[in-house]
Structure 1
Amino acid sequence: MTSVLSQAGAASQIRSGNRLFRTDYLKPVVKEFLMVIKRPLSHSLKHKILRRHNPQYDRWLKSSQKNVALLPIPKNANTWLTSIFLVNHAPSSGFDPMHETPSSFLRKQPSMSPRVSSFNEIMEDATQKLIVLRDPKKRLVSGFYDKLVKKHQKNPKYSEEVAAEAEKETGSITFLDFLSFLSKVPKYRLNFHFLPQYFWVDYYGEDFFNKIGTLEDIEDIEAYLKNEGFDISLGGATNLHSGIQKKTNYASEVIDCTKATIEDLSRLTYPPHYLSFFGESECRLFEAMYQRDVEIHKKYFCPEST
């Protein structure tokens, strides 16, 4: 099954004669290889083996003259964080966060990206490795809204795919239908917006990172970046607090939305509180897919409770 909610795409395909090969099918093979050789590998060797089979793990950002490298996770305030790294990156001095997003700027000026060109930059002793986690339920609901609810009318490819699996009309699918669909997709083929966060953390190992932060403790991230010499003001365009909420402001009250369709949700002024989507069935599917995310997020957001 070709899936827009999976990693299928031009970047992960190579054409040979009349056959179309999917490189993401190789991921389990590579994983088995790493298990069979039964010896620890250096991060640089793992990087060389796997980087072309999962390029998302290779998208480290590092501003010039700063000793912090960020491994971005989709749906984890990436616009704000990338803006910070762009503003503090000398080659991209023309970036103005008041007037454009990092994505639009880098489409026009790809050579000015703070993305690292060599893994050796990450492995330098002076480089601090940073990764930022998010409450996994919030992240999943955010992805559901961005990819299905908001795009239902203008770009329904995601909702159409879920609807086909659920055998429903496109506008009548629910969050449970969405979760049920994701549960049937092999994790290594999930779209990066829905891929569990532990894939990024465990790929390198928790000890590899000097700082594992969470969006729920945003003051800690702000303080960390400032202490490392970053200008996080963005010229007054935004801050981390507004950066998290710049696209979607969620309601503060929890109501039962387990039966709400994406057609219903698209008519609301504000999306419901993220917990409104989780009933017994939803929680069961969520825990089967994201329990490791829950554990690792709790470890770094609420360390006293672990």
Structure 2
Amino acid sequence: MERPMLVGAVNCTAILEFTLEGFPVVQHLGKVLFLLHLLAYLASVMGNSLIITITWADQRLHTPMYFFLSTFSFCECSFITTVIPKLLTIFLSRKHTISFAACFTQAFAFLFLGATIFFLMAVLSLDQYLAICKPLHYPTIMNPRTCVLLVTACFSLGFLLMAGPIIMLSQLSFCGSNVIPHFFCDFGHLAKLSFSKNRSIETLFFNLVFFLLFTSFLMTVIAYSNILVTIVRLPSAKERQKAFSTCSSHLAVLSLMYGSCVFIYVKPKQTSRLDSNREAALVNTVVTPLLNPVIYTLRNKQVHRALRDALSRVKLQKNHRWRVLSLL
């Protein structure tokens, strides 16, 4: 839908909705892709929801690390929900249109939650650094108040960094082409569709993204450099192996996230990489959230123990109900 408007001295038709191109090359496989992405989406949501439920239900997991992990899982569920449902609609019903307001809401939610996730990753690195390198001071430093403040800071920074560019971009004029060559409302593509192009907004956005990636990455590198030094000095080979295993899992997810984001946002010439952005973004929105529950907690012995205990309690309650029913 469009409506006439005057931009400066030029007549144009204002855009009231956008068209998401999706993946036109494989659009004929829509039903197959719908099923695959639906299964991946459900698995991600169920895995992350299970982490949140187990963390809050089991007293043994009421520690700073699992508090951060449950918050991280909540953000992951919210993050993929901003994008995947619309992608599923494109695959199944080929409904590519999205309203102007919904498009900018999706763009903001995607960037806000993505930024928050990166700050949480840095906080998780800090938590591991304190747990391994400062074990005696860890309980005092990572008290409940500090944990809540750190999580609040992550959400606040994510909101403040991403709200400005989105608000500024939404106030520009959009007319002419309304086709976004992506499967969601990406900031870079929206900026290119604007009739009143403003390079300062794009420059601000990419500087903020660079700041976000650089600061969170720098915190992670500093934390893991100290962790590595501490691990090497551990006297027991078993302790070293356990610590390395935990760190390698975290670093694997970090590599996926930082690699895809740098590829999408920090390369200089955007026009030469529009198509490849879709695949990189798909890694961030489908593959990484699917792997995170497995890598971070479902491999963890404490979580395994908590799951076994929860299943045992459910089984006992079920048996108790059957006994009560049999006596009636």
Taking structure 2 as the reference length, what is the TM-score of the superposition?
0.26
User: Larger radius of gyration, structure 1 or 2?
Assistant: 2
The structure in which a higher percent of residues are helix is 2
Q: Looking at both structures, which has the greater relative contact order when contacts are Cα pairs under 8 Å and sequence separation is at least 6?
A: 2
